Amino acid sequence: MYIGKFRLPIMSSLLIWAALWEIAGRTGASFIIPPLSRIFARIIEIVPTPAFGDALWITGKAFILGNIIAICIGVPLGVLMGRSVIADRIFLPWVNMFLSSPLSALVPVIMVIFGAGQTTIVLTVVLFAIWIVVLDARAGVRNITPSLVEMARSFGANRFQAFSKIFVWAALPEILAGVRLGMIRAVKGVVIGQLLVSIVGFGRLFEIYSSRFLMEHFWALLFVLFAFAFAINEALAWLERRFEYFAASRN
Amino acid sequence: MTAAVAQKSAAPRAMVEVRHISKTYAGGVEALNDLSIDFAEGQLTSLLGPSGCGKTTLLKIIAGLIPATGGEVKVDGRVVTGPGPERAFVFQDFALMPWASVMRNVAFGLELKGMARSEREAVAEKYIASVGLKGFEKAYPHELSGGMRQRAGLARALAVNAKVLLMDEPFSAVDEQTRRKFQEDLLELIAREQKTFLFVTHSIEEAVYVSDRIIILSHRPSQVSSIVEPAIVRGGGPDQIRRDPAYLDTVESIWQSLKRYLD
């Protein structure tokens, strides 16, 4: 964007909002909005603490484990649904329903079954991430050129070979998009899971900070999470672009 | 022409036998109805016919990729129930894996059979060279021209060392000049590889140029309209073939017989 002849750097609008926030914070209009500079000071203060390190470790474990489960189940299920009409009829209504339903409402149910612990949080991550992974893998497989499937068959590929050597690769651009969207949802899942269980990880820190009205700490933690989600998204988007070259040359 | 017929019909046995094959698609379209053809061993037989006459359908039934509604196909004396190692398919749209190099694509049939990497790459290397792609082993399909991609597709089919090569309009997605060169190379290849070729095409010139025998199919549901065995002397090189009166006469007579299907 240009103002006169001056070219504004990307994300310069963020600077304007940051300035507004700082001013609003300094007027002391509400305790909910502390000045931005103090929040950043707080980030530097809390990130090296052991409490934060523990929370990051336990959250990271739940996040990664949940995503691995979501991918390992979601991709084969999506491929199966893309290839088999029967499987598609059986699973698609559920996938669509879970994709659009308010999943937070289900977390207490999981908690009743699996207790208020790490298992519940991992399952919450799976619950948030898996549906978009399934749906995108399915879409990818349905986009495969029919002759590529015929090629595999005519050279004698069995089902497993067709899955591992053709379907997964041919659908890779869509699968990666699904994994990326799934991981963004998983960030929500892990935080919501921890907030509802409220005794572990970042959820516990959020609970402590908000119940004691430590708004600077609260915002600092939130900003760190934003940064994580953004970094994950960018890393996967980069990976996606590396595989996009053949998405165009598939058909 | 008669001399050539007498010579050829005496020796070779039928490698592919199509017996009373019918195919009706789910929508009720009758592609083939009680079709019987023999394809002789070691020859290149073309299936030629008006577009949509079911020639690709027949080829895919022989390949075992789609089931026939009735009748049976025997390849090398055995009834076809699905794809098999004695047949290899060359696809109209090449069907190369865009994420894999030429080397891996060509070796793919062998990879599926579980052949060790060094072994299959040695075989693939040989066939990559024999189709004229030497130096492109590490290239990816999107870096190749259409003609080169189909050469890779052909090398892949040759690498599995099948007795029968099924080629579904292999040159139709390739530009005219590349196609001519390709046809010339194909003749050399046929002379070198002792295989049975089944070749589907809609180009009369192409069929006459490359075929030992041309089966002309009628409109849907397909019947054998006529069988032509071009009496062309192959020894003299591509230019001589294209100027050979027998070549020109055969093209013309096939055109006359196909013309009536066009309206």
The domain spans of chain B are 2-86+164-259, 100-161
Q: Is the pLDDT of residue B50 over 70?
A: yes
Contact A154 B99 (CB under 8 A): no
CB-CB neighbors (< 8 A) of A170 in chain B: 97, 99
Q: What is the pTM of this model?
A: 0.78
Instruction: DSSP letter for A104, please.
Output: G
* Residues A233, A184 contacting (CB under 8 angstroms): yes
Interchain CB distance below 8 Å, A245 and B142: yes
Interface predicted TM-score (ipTM) over 0.90? no
Quickly list H helices, B114-193.
117-130, 146-159, 176-192
pLDDT higher than threshold 50 for residue B56: yes
Mean pLDDT of B160-177: 86
- State the pLDDT at residue B4: 46
Q: Which residue has the higher pLDDT, B4 or A41?
A: A41
Q: Average pLDDT, stretch A223-246?
A: 83
Lowest average pLDDT, out of A231-235, B72-76, B182-186, B219-223, goes to B219-223
Mean pLDDT over B150-154 rounds to 90
Q: Is B95 close to A249, i.e. CB distance below 8 A?
A: no
Q: Do β-strands B87-90 and B164-168 pair in parallel, antiparallel, or remain unpaired?
A: parallel
Provide the 8-state DSSP code for B59: H
pLDDT at residue B7, rounded to an integer = 47
State whether residue B138 sits within 8 Å of chain A by CB.
no
Question: Domain B2-86+164-259, CATH 3.40.50.300 — does that match?
Answer: yes
To the nearest whole percent, how much of chain B has pLDDT over 70? 93
- Residue A116 confidence (pLDDT) above 80: no
Query: Average model confidence (pLDDT) for chain B?
Result: 83
Worst-scoring range by mean pLDDT, A93-107, B2-16, B174-188, B231-245?
B2-16
Least confident of A26-40, A220-234, B86-100, B102-116: A26-40
Nearest Cα to Cα of residue B64 among A155, A158, A160, A80: A155
Q: What is the pLDDT of residues A57-96, one digit of tens each?
A: 888 899 999 999 999 999 999 999 999 999 999 999 999 9
Give the residues across from B165 on adjacent strands: B88, B197
Cα A148 off chain centre by: 32
Highest mean pLDDT among A24-28, B140-144, B156-160: B156-160
* CA B101, B103, B106, B109 torsion-angle sign: negative
Q: How far apart are CA B250 and CA B46, in angstroms?
A: 14
B64 touches chain A (CB under 8 A): yes
CB contact under 8 A, B88 and A154: yes
Candidates A143, A149, A150, A151, partner chain B, best to mutate (most B CBs within 10 A) = A151
Contacts B109 to A, Cβ<8 Å: 155-156
In the prediction, which pLDDT does B105 show?
93
Helix (H) or strand (E) holding B38: strand B30-40
Query: Which pLDDT band, with edges at 50, 70 and 90, does B144 fall under?
Result: confident
Mean pLDDT of all residues in B76-82: 87
DSSP state letter for B203 = -
Residue from the list B64, B87, B98 with its beta carbon closest to the beta carbon of A249: B98
Closest alpha carbon to B204 in B238, B230, B186:
B230
First to last CA, chain A: 37
Report the gap between the CA of A246 and the closest CA in chain B (Å).
6
State how far the Cα of A244 lies from the Cα of A180, in Å rounded to an integer.
14
Name the residue of chain B whose CA is nearest to A153's CA: B83
Which chain B residue's Cα is nearest to A243? Answer: B99
Tell me how close the Cα of B114 comes to any Cα of chain A, in angstroms. 10
Q: B107 CB near a chain A CB, below 8 Å?
A: no
CB contact under 8 A, B91 and A166: no
Q: What is the reported pLDDT for B6?
A: 44
Residue A251: the pLDDT is 45
Report pLDDT for A1.
64
Cα separations (Å) of B205 from B180, B210, B218, B230? Answer: 10, 9, 18, 11
- CATH classification of A35-248, choosing from 3.10.270.10, 2.60.40.2480, 1.20.140.10, 1.10.3720.10? 1.10.3720.10
Residues of A in contact with B142 (CB under 8 A): 245-246, 249
What phi-psi label fits residue B35: left (phi over 0), alpha (psi between -120 and 50 degrees) or beta?
beta
**Which residue from B88, B95, B111 is facing A147, i.e. has the nearest CB?**
B95
Helix, strand, coil % in chain B, rounded to nearest 5: 40, 25, 35
pLDDT averaged over every residue in chain A: 86
Compare CB distances from B142 to A166, A170, A246 and report the shortest one's residue.
Answer: A246
Strands A6-7 and B78-79 turn out to be: unpaired
**Chain A residue closest in CA terms to B142:** A249
CA distance B74 to chain A (A): 16
For residue B198, the model assigns a pLDDT of 92
pLDDT mean over A224-240: 86
Tens-place pLDDT, residues A172-209: 888 989 999 999 889 888 888 888 876 778 888 888 88
Q: Mind telling me how many Å the CA of B151 is from chain A's nearest CA?
A: 15
